[in-house]
Amino acid sequence: MPAAVMGDAGSSALIGMVRNNENQPVAGIKILAKISSGQIVSQGTTDALGRYAVQNLRVGRYQLTLDPANSPYKGQSVVSAVGSEGLTVNWLVSQSAPALAMATPGAGPGPANKDDDNKGLFGLSPMATGGVIFLGTAGLITGILCGTDVICGGHAVSGSE
């Protein structure tokens, strides 16, 4: 990995889970973080519980790609900003439609915490996290579920830089 993207005072992380349309975790899925040139700067792979972490990201904007590798699921790419607090992006995958990304600010224990299983979609509580953004093709926002102004305060996600 290039030294320019290694962890520093401005580094952040992306975490999340990948589940299929039957709400089962999916192992072996790659999540790639790319800069505007298309260069992969970091990546993570889901474990047996469907969890992944993409570490050592600088605060900024990334194309996030779900690469289904050899699985029967369809992939997807979205564009999102990653702030200093990190970002949680959970993915819903299907064999018949492109993956759907759901993002919330912060990269805390959230979905990886077994105690959060009953809080809602992927263990996320929109009121606790500030909101959930549903990202579709090319990073276009397909829906927003808001609890506070954290996400609804006029910030937009664009499909191109």
- Please provide the DSSP assignment of 43-77 as one string: EEE--TTSEEEEEEEESEEEEEEEE-TTSSS--EE
Tally of domains within the chain = 1
Across all residues in the chain, what is the average pLDDT? 72
Within-domain flag for 157? no
The enclosing domain of 132 has a CATH number of: 2.60.40.10
| pLDDT bracket for residue 73 (50, 70, 90) | very high
pTM to 2 decimal places: 0.67
Q: 128 lies in a domain?
A: yes
- Domain range for 109 is 3-152
For residues 78 and 62, what is the distance between their CA atoms, to the nearest angstrom?
8
Question: Which pLDDT belongs to residue 1?
Answer: 30
pLDDT band at 134 (very low <50, low <70, confident <90, very high): low
Is 159 contained in some domain?
A: no
On the question of pLDDT at 63 being above 90, the answer is yes
